[in-house]
Structure 1
Amino acid sequence: MRTAGEEIVSSCPQCGVEIRTDRRFTTWCAACDWNVDPQGPSEKKHGLDGVRRRVAQRYGERLFDELRGGETSTGGRTLSGLLAFAIALAVHGLTFALAAVGLLGLVRGWGGLGMVFGLFLLALAWSLRPRLNRLSDDNRVLLRDDAPELYALVDEVAAALGTRGVDAVVVDARANAGVTHLGLRGRLLTLGLPLWEVLSPQQRIALLGHELGHFTNGDTRHGMVVGTACRSLGTWHYYLLPVPNPNTIQVVTNLACVPFRLLVMAVAALLDLLTAQASQRGEYLADAAAARIGSTEGAVGLMDRLLVTDSIVITLRRESNARRMRGGSRVSAHDSDGLWEALAAYMDSIPASEHERQRRVGVLRGHSVDASHPPTHLRRRLLLDGMPLPASVTTDAEAAERIAGELEAVGKTLARKVVRDGYEGR
């Protein structure tokens, strides 16, 4: 074995060809796939998350074949979508019924035990109520006056997609991004600074095209009625979890809750199944929007970054630990300086061989960003199989610099938080 800087030169023990690998990453053979996935498949996901991942892979593969054949319709209102909507209304109807019975018990049981029962049901219904997304006090919110250049870019991307922009932008420390509804009619864009900072300007535009593209293809799972029903079911599931280290009475309570917990999980799984195909299709169509807006090259580059987001998490944890140790008991603003630049430099240094290895691992494992996305390698292949598209929205160096200036203050705040508290991941 020979070394040269970060490069290791060796022979494959399986087929004998020469291997050149960066010493920071797994040594593997591109000719025969020796050691391409040394850790093997990640641990099996059980319960609802496991169901979601299996459904995501199955529908993702099916829709890949359909869309590769030229099928691009969003499908409109389907029977499964209508059933999901009906189930969501039933979930909210149960919450309303609990509130009504609680109010009745409060009125009729005034001065007696009926009041306690009524108050309990009212409190339960309140915790299960449909909750609209709102901005919390700890969000790093950028409004239009705070970041006019960023909003101008978002508006330009939205106009190119035939939709409208967003009403607020939240910047956080996750290696991710997303859009959702804000209140009844508003729109919220969340930008994870660790992801934003490691993208090129055109990849950032592709990211905005992907996220805003969700508003143009009507993903039911993220709609107001179904989305809030899923959150209510999550609250039900939390309430019905078994009490750890139970006493005798709690053992009985745990056993009594089992059928109700299974019912809640079954309803949640059914909602996932009914909305999965529309959600998967929505992701593929959002990728197509990313390619139209930011170019096929920019969208594929974004996919490559998503394949190595684990490196973002590992790097930020390593940097935050090192900087916290360097700062001792008190972490100063100086200790967090250059955190995002160090992250971007490391991500830029990842060799092409590691990207290729991650793509092959993705094929083996069915890798996806999370349980709601199709396999990343299929998303990437679908973009590359189509006709290469130029960018319909571009930005110049001066505009990119102004956007960086608008994000500078929130970036410093998040960097200090990451170094002080450690990085939790995405």
Structure 2
Amino acid sequence: MFNKNILSVTLGLVLLLPASASAGDLLSLDKGAAKTINVKRNIDTVFVADTQIADYKVIANGKLVIYGIGRGATSIIAYDRAGNEIYNAEVVVNKSLRLLKQTLIARYPDEDIKLTNIGEQVVIDGVVSSEEIKNKVYRHVGEMLKKSKQRNTFELTNANGESGDALDYTATYVFEDIINNLKVLTTDQINVKLTVAEVSSSFLTELGVSYAETNGKSIGGAGQFVNKILDFTAEDIVAVISASGNDSIGQVLAEPNLSVISGESASFLVGGEIPITVRDNDGISVTYKEYGVKLSMVAKVTDSENIRLSLLPEVSSIDKTNGVNSGLISVPSLRTRKAQTTVQLKDGQSFVLAGLLTSEEQESLAKIPYLGDIPILGALFSKTNTERRKTELIIVATVNLVDPVKETDIKLPKFKRTSDLERLLKLDLSNVDDEELENTIKAGGFN
């Protein structure tokens, strides 16, 4: 009997507790927007801390409508007839984003874009189809809300650490109080296959190439880009250099494959660093300067799947003849050829950058032993030969939009045993796997 009385008292106390529907809620509203709140008990009294920010209207038993009036934060508390608290919320009224949302829907009808106010900040959520649309939406929201912004651009840097001109097409913006949480379904990736070659000045002449005129159409002076030179494509020129096997005609200096996300940069260096001594008030310090084949690039996919590519190629070599001697220290100089340019291509197209010339003179003396050393008369038995060698730097690039290769599709190199008969008869028994491997390598590891 005693236990039954305790149970009855406990149940009675539970029933007397206030039925709070959602105590301590955070309610976010746009200015001019309203929201219906349902509570379990009939509403008798509602307290609003600041009616200039938000107000209410009871439309039925247990049903309360709260609407935003001005930007700011306030508290709303509802009580039942017994004075028990049945609803308590912190109401935050933000600037209305209704017009901005409608503009985004009209401009990007196929994209999933959501806007949320959090105090002074605006959060952009959702999923869009490309990185370009993500950046456009972010910039559109920031400019419509008139938020302060910072503009950032890429600048290609050479071996000396010197920056070139800012690349306007790579400009990105950072807006204050705008949080961009948009996700991209597929990220554009660009593969750039580059070949840097040095050829003799007679090489392109022997191929029938003229910079001043090609097929009767002017293509500009040296250093200009061309997609096709007569009947030779960019890849054909590299094939001829590789097939010649003669370094006096030309040699390939580097053949890198660089892959970047659209709008990002990449660089490579084939060479080394030379120490440079610098004397100052604190003594002598040593810095290092890069030399060799260096290239910095920025690639970005624009509208209609065009690829805009900026290149800063630089080829340098150590030149001891023009070095500086200071006591016990000898500092060599660098002979450098470099250029910077921007070009727009379609997926799979190639181009050639040429016309970066250099000239070297070599003197040699041939003489008959003893007779050539006779004063005055020795000139009759000796011969001086001066050879001038002109070389030209050619850079060939091919751009492709690529997708990463799945792990299961990667073909690794493997050994293949061949019989004496196959080697004797030079039989080609390559299988399909070898062809797929070769194609994958040519594509820079991408499909």
TM category (shorter chain) comes to under 0.3
Larger RCO (CA within 8 A; separation ≥ 6): 1
Larger strand share, 1 or 2: 2
The structure with the largest alpha-carbon Rg is: 2
Q: TM-score, normalised by structure 1?
A: 0.19
